A and B are shown apart, each in its own frame.
Chain A
């Protein structure tokens, strides 16, 4: 059985990572209840966290998975908290978005990223904001799509299989098809 200390450590690691890497303040979660199951950190309303019923399948939303050397926020979490992301965000155009939603890995040309190493901390071209190699949040038209792994100018989509969209189209493409 996991000790309370270990659970607290996991939650702390996840929150610190969200703050350091993406600029999401820990304060944002102060009105929520956080808990850990195995290596996953979950978030729910206080009332949902305290409710007791038989046969509970789950509470709230899984927000991050904690690995030995890194923390990966979930697609569902960044779609909900995406507006709070201040750095390590990459804006994708429509074609790139399509590939990202299909779960593909794609070349991405970010002058700031060299060899997957930490390079910059400033806003660059294409809406790239303070990007370093590692997990980044992919955006399209201001909406957080999900998490990508950026390494050596390649962006590997982390959208889970169950959420991938193979035939999505974006509004402007649809408009041009109709036109």
Chain B
């Protein structure tokens, strides 16, 4: 049984060893990893304007996140899900880091976009808002259990431009080859970066789980790339630190499609680190240095890893 509040002692020895191998100073890194980051919310412009929502929530003294004018942190401890603004769909409570992949994807109105692993919908709703409810957003998730949370959040956010599908993400490369302008693959991962939110991660964490997830991610990233139009852009993201699931997966794609471009990401006010160049003797493709990594001891948010990949015309 995993305790709800974990301390350093409750982290598996193997996990700590890996973190040390990644070069983290454990005395700073582990406490930050286990401490919940500031709460954050994103303003849903499908329901209200930034100005009116900020006026309504001024008493919370929200602090803007530099990289996205619609994302704010809240230092006060309260349940954002109980606010009337949340009920109305004016805000979406989500960790600040988890708003980064869609910010990097930069969806545009009237495009066709695939969110390959969409539940519970925080990123799908962010994409739909950026598209201003136009065009087509395919919000896919393979898990029937996770579909209700996805549809519930789409409903609350007032999303009209979405088709929800329940397919293995691997299928899209075949059924929608070169169809989408943009693809988001927020891949299923070992979730090391979200330990402060859910220590249940520890129940499933193991090195063999990382290996298994990495194999799935390789299939998904291939499918995502196949489904992308020439000239299209995809974002690959995870909420884990494991290099096998990040640089390893992106390197695998580059091995299969050397023409794919891992683009640099520049977001204002974000303290990021570049992708690792190697892990346990395995050298990654040099282009993975353009991946951004977010660490909880350097950034007020969960651990995340984001790559922006374009497909040449």
Q: How far is the CA of A82 from the CA of B205 in the complex (A)?
A: 46
Stretch from B155-163, B182-190, B286-294 forming part of the interface with A: B155-163
State which residues 67-122 of B face A: CB under 8 Å. Answer: 82-84, 87-90, 110, 112
Interface-lining segment among A114-122, A123-131, A164-172: A164-172
| Residue in A45, A51, A165, A169 whose Cβ sees the most chain B Cβ within 10 Å | A45
Could you say which of A53, A101, A170, A171 has the most chain B C-beta atoms within 10 Å of its C-beta? A53
Asked if B151 is at the interface of the complex by the 8 Å CB criterion, the answer is yes
Whether B59 lies near A60 (C-beta < 8 A) is no
Contact of A60 among B82, B90, B138, B161 (CB under 8 A): B161
Check if A167 sits within 8 Å of B151, measured CB to CB.
Answer: no
**Cross-chain contact A165 with B82 (CB below 8 angstroms):** yes
B238 to A: closest C-beta gap in Å: 25
A37 interfacial by beta-carbon distance below 8 Å: no
Known A-B contacts A48-B161, A167-B82; the reply to A54 vs B167 at CB < 8 A is yes
B152 lies within 8 A of chain A by Cβ: yes
**Which chain A residues border B154 with CB–CB below 8 Å?**
61
Inter-chain contact A76/B167, CB cutoff 8 Å: no
Residues of B within 8 A of A58 (CB): 151, 163-164
B254 at the interface (CB under 8 A from A): no
- Give the bracket for the number of chain B residues in contact with chain A: 35 or more
CB atoms of A45 and B161 under 8 A apart: yes
Taking CB atoms, residues of chain B closer than 8 Å to A48 are 136-137, 160-163
- Tell me what chain B mostly uses at the interface: helix, strand, loop, or mixed: mixed
Given A48-B162, A60-B160, answer yes or no on A53-B88 (Cβ-Cβ < 8 Å): no
Which A residues are in CB contact (< 8 Å) with B155? 61-62, 76
**CB proximity to B under 8 Å, residues A18-65:** 32, 43-45, 47-48, 51, 53-62
Query: Chain B contacts of A62 at CB under 8 A?
Result: 155
Report B128-159 CB contacts with A as 1/0, cut-off 8 Å. Answer: 00000111111000000001000110111011
The residue on B at minimum CB distance from A167 is B82
Give chain A nearest CB distance to B261 CB in angstroms: 27
Q: Which of B47, B84, B112, B165 contacts A47 (CB 8 A)?
A: B112
Output the least CB separation between A159 and chain B (Å).
Answer: 9
Contact of B161 with A47 in the complex, beta carbons under 8 Å: yes
Cβ contact within 8 Å between A59 and B163: yes
Whether A168 touches B164, Cβ cut-off 8 Å, given contacts A45-B135, A53-B138, is no
Task: Return chain A residues, CB-CB under 8 Å to B167.
Answer: 53-55
Establish whether residues B158 and A76, one from each chain, have CB atoms under 8 Å apart when the complex forms. yes
Known: A76-B158, A167-B82, A175-B59. A57 touches B135 (CB 8 A): no
Name 26 interchain pairs, CB-CB below 8 A, sorted by A.
Answer: A45-B160, A48-B161, A53-B163, A53-B167, A55-B165, A55-B167, A58-B151, A58-B164, A59-B164, A60-B159, A61-B158, A61-B159, A62-B155, A79-B47, A79-B89, A80-B158, A101-B87, A143-B88, A143-B90, A165-B84, A168-B87, A169-B82, A169-B83, A169-B84, A174-B59, A178-B59
